[in-house]
Amino acid sequence: MSTPERTLCPYHTHILVAGSWSSPGFDDDKTQFTIPCESLLADMSHITALALDQSPPVARCLRFACFLSTGEFVIWSLSHSKPGIHSLQHRYIPTGRTERTIAPVVHGVYHHPLLTALTRSFSLSLYDTSSKTVQHTQTVTSFTSFPPASLVLSTPSPSTYKLVLAHAIPMYPAHWSLGATEFMIHGGGSTSQNSATSMLGFSSDTPSTGPDALTVRSTRTVRTVDVPRGWIDEDKLRAMKEQWERKVSLITDTQTDGKWVVLAPGDRLSSLASPSAAQDQTTPSLSTPLPVQTSMVASPMHSASGLQLYRLSLPPHTSISASPPKLTFVRTLHGQMGPITALALADGRCVSLGRNGSIWVWDLENGTGAEVAAGDFAAIDAHPEPVIGAVVFDEKRIISALGAGNVVVRRFDI
């Protein structure tokens, strides 16, 4: 159904704008622009995350933020029709060495003037880019949330932002499941409301810079498994046991679009399991990254390639009697052979990249999927070591990268 369109070289400390991605009228093979994103703090640095501005473009100019391994970030503006015309809008250099500045940013979302950055140590920082100088307004931290994670930002009103974070949560004795946290961010109002962030796992370690600063005003967290307090009836016990059986020993990726959450397990096939590997499992900690592989299958209710699909419900909390948020299991998506290394999710559609290079597109509402690119090899789990991949998509393209190989662009209508 699709053929590779072009390949790109490995990344450097600059942004490459190439071909029809920038303007349909340009020659893909000849038109390339590099935008420098060099560090002022170190001779060598690398890019850890990118964030494209989601707000309406001004004068057909697009803004994007580039986060560096030194804790710096830069915001560039470029012309949509002439990408060679670009200008530096902001450069942020952190002051001092704190956990917020030394931990690399792994995810960022940008809706001018709000820029949010999530670090590997699970500190979420908010920045106001409305003035000439970037203002760091707040950082909240969680000690019960873990990578992998994904962010989606929306604007319920002109002065309010809703940030939804999907993340992994540990389960006894050494397993994982899903959680989701909603952050309501806006300016104005009493700064005393910021204390709400400490009630549900995220605590603030930086005060706002003023009553009108962009800060988190409230949070809500929901889990797939939340053991109720006190005594429970048989129906609640049955539902809790069902979700408990869906726990996994490793999560490769999780993505959300604010309505759906998809979990890709990272378990090896049961035929490769060994008792010694199961005994080596330890309770995760925030200071150590998640293990890259395991040979333990936690439950017969999932497979190494089955995607767990959940519906996320976040009713408006307009009153005390408002319905609580829910993260409800819907189904397991089967079809793709072999373990999955990366997911992309938007508008009720999911694209999954297999460890063998295969690509599937899923309709989450109907629970159907189709293979749009075959794998590079037929054997399931043929790689002795997991391969890190990435995938993104829009209405016409899927862009994927697997391991240290090239970036591949595939064109078709999805």
Can you tell me the mean pLDDT for 369-398? 76
Per-residue pLDDT at 16: 59
Query: Which is higher by pLDDT, 376 or 158?
Result: 158
> Would the pLDDT of 200 be above 80?
no
Q: Each residue of 303-315: pLDDT tens digit?
A: 667 899 999 999 8
Can you tell me the mean pLDDT for 391-413? 83
> Would the pLDDT of 256 be above 70?
yes
Per-residue pLDDT at 186: 87
Assessment of whether the complete model's pTM goes beyond 0.85: no
Can you tell me the mean pLDDT for 160-173? 93
For residue 206, name the pLDDT band (cuts at 50, 70, 90): low
Per-residue pLDDT at 134: 95
> Would the pLDDT of 381 be above 80?
no
Q: Any idea which architecture 341-413 has in CATH?
A: Beta Barrel (2.40)
For residue 258, name the pLDDT band (cuts at 50, 70, 90): very high
For the chain, what is the mean pLDDT? 78
> Would the pLDDT of 253 be above 70?
yes
Q: Each residue of 331-376: pLDDT tens digit?
A: 999 988 878 899 999 999 999 998 888 899 999 999 999 999 888 7
Query: Which is higher by pLDDT, 261 or 205?
Result: 261
Q: Each residue of 42-87: pLDDT tens digit?
A: 888 889 999 999 998 887 888 999 999 999 999 999 887 777 788 8
For residue 188, name the pLDDT band (cuts at 50, 70, 90): very low
The percent of residues in the chain predicted with pLDDT above 90, rounded, is 41
The percent of residues in the chain predicted with pLDDT above 70, rounded, is 72
CA atoms within 13 A on the CB side of 302: 32
Per-residue pLDDT at 209: 52
Q: Each residue of 93-135: pLDDT tens digit?
A: 988 777 667 889 999 999 999 999 999 999 999 999 999 999 9
Per-residue pLDDT at 361: 94
Per-residue pLDDT at 412: 73
Can you tell me the mean pLDDT for 198-220? 65
Give phi and psi for 195, each to the nearest 5.
-65, -15
Per-residue pLDDT at 271: 39
Per-residue pLDDT at 414: 60
Domain ranges of the chain: 341-413
